[in-house]
Amino acid sequence: MSDSSTFHEQPINTTSLPDISRAQSAALYETALHYFPGGVNSPVRAFKSVFGTPLFIKKGDGCTVWDADGNQFVDFCCSWGPLILGHNNPVVKQHVLQAIDSGMSFGAPTELENDLASLILSNNKKIEKLRFVSSGTEAVMSAIRLARGYTKRDKILKFDGCYHGHVDSLLVKAGSGLVTFGETSSAGVPKGFADETIVIPLNDKEAVKAAFDQFPGQIAAVIIEGIPANNGLLIQTKEYIQFLREVTKTNQSLLIFDEVITGFRLGFEGAAAYYDVNPDIITYGKIIGGGMPVGAYGASAEIMGHVSPEGSVYQAGTLSGNPVAMAAGIGQLSQLLQPGFYKKLNAKAASFVECIQEFANNRGYKFKVFTAGSMFWFAFTDQNIQAAAEIDASSMTYFKVMHRELLNRGVYLGPSGYEIGFISDAHTAADLDKAKKAIFDSLDIVFLKDYA
């Protein structure tokens, strides 16, 4: 890895580069507007929070993606996290090709389901049984239903700023009080659904206690992202997470860890091991399928025994355990189990982040990089942030400019200042050096031209 001191004393550069050509992407976007709402199949892809039209990606290999105009980028989005080995990993690809030779979907059990489940469960002490589904949203939806069926209670407690997919009862925001029923944050979510969801601030023990006091014997589960990472990277203390474990046990509620982002990313046992806690139910996302459409939820054998056909909590899926996704998962997770994999990846990420933070500190910029494992978040602040309300919305003006400058320098981040970035095993020292130089130049432009 390069000596980070190379980047500390570089001259100040306030020269914006010309915008890259997006002619082909723009044309594809215009066509897409005729087919899809907003021209996209997921809202954040629409580039509404940054400059320009969406980039249409044509190819990915290693840590690099190419758009329809031939522009090349060092990618820190990594398909929103699951590509921990990078794009087009040869081992994952070979597993997929072998599976396709035998067929792509059967709607019946295959040996590959057993193989991937064994790989996960024999190396993850936090769960005893699991159920494969087709997405992280579906995993969370199923976990909520299981918690309600198991406890015979209806209410769910979630935290403001935590996103758990587009599940009706969780697509809610906080109301005006400390402990409030959720208010729907999407049209089409019935008020009755939101009324079964209690929303409180993160990092506030008194709010948790007040919720259990206000609704005694009614809360089926508390759900929290392993590390909240959909609205900034809101790293909670170990003491607070242990408190959630204790208070849920005391009130005979379940603790659900949504590890769609953190699972197998922070380590093979995810945030549960990071915080040394044993949640009652854990959900996982696309990382267990090498980025293919897949998810899972798991728990103790006793809790999972309540899932149909063994128990009365119904959940099904024609494509659950899809053989191609299972094969991709085996190819990916087997590599994550190689000795020293996470130590090496996390050390690479730590060096990258430390260099950027030191540069910003030396320049006196009001800029902070939050990081956990191989995840990072750029925030235009000098304060610690652990709750959604602590994020200054006006600071997103800085990110908007930074995003444009980074694209023009060949670095791709997710198109929102609230989204986090990911480093993969495929990022080389040279790739990270290129990205650091682009980030330094972009920060100089943002702060010294005072765009905010």
Catalytic residues, by residue number, are: 163, 258, 286
Place of tokens 């206690």: 209
Q: Cα separation of 351 and 358, whole Å?
A: 11
Query: Cα(195)–Cα(156) distance, rounded to whole angstroms?
Result: 10
Token pair, residue 171, equals: 């697509």
What's the Cα-to-Cα distance from 231 to each of 109, 177, 183, 370, 377, rounded to whole Å? Answer: 37, 20, 18, 12, 10
* Token pair in block for residue 287: 């990382």
- Alpha-carbon distances, residue 181 vs 169, 170, 172 (angstroms): 11, 11, 9
Would you list the DSSP string of 115-166?
Answer: HHHHHHHTT-TT-SEEEEESSHHHHHHHHHHHHHHHHT--EEEEETT----S
**Residue keyed to tokens 């040869």:** 90
Q: Which strands, in side-by-side order, build the sheet including 72-75?
A: 57-61, 64-67, 72-75, 411-412
Contact 136, 284 (CB under 8 A): yes
With beta carbons less than 8 A apart as the criterion, state whether 170 and 198 touch: no
Distances (CA, A) of 433 to 6, 70, 83, 95, 439: 10, 22, 20, 32, 10
Measure the CA–CA gap between 112 and 120, rounded to whole angstroms.
12
8-state DSSP, 193:
H
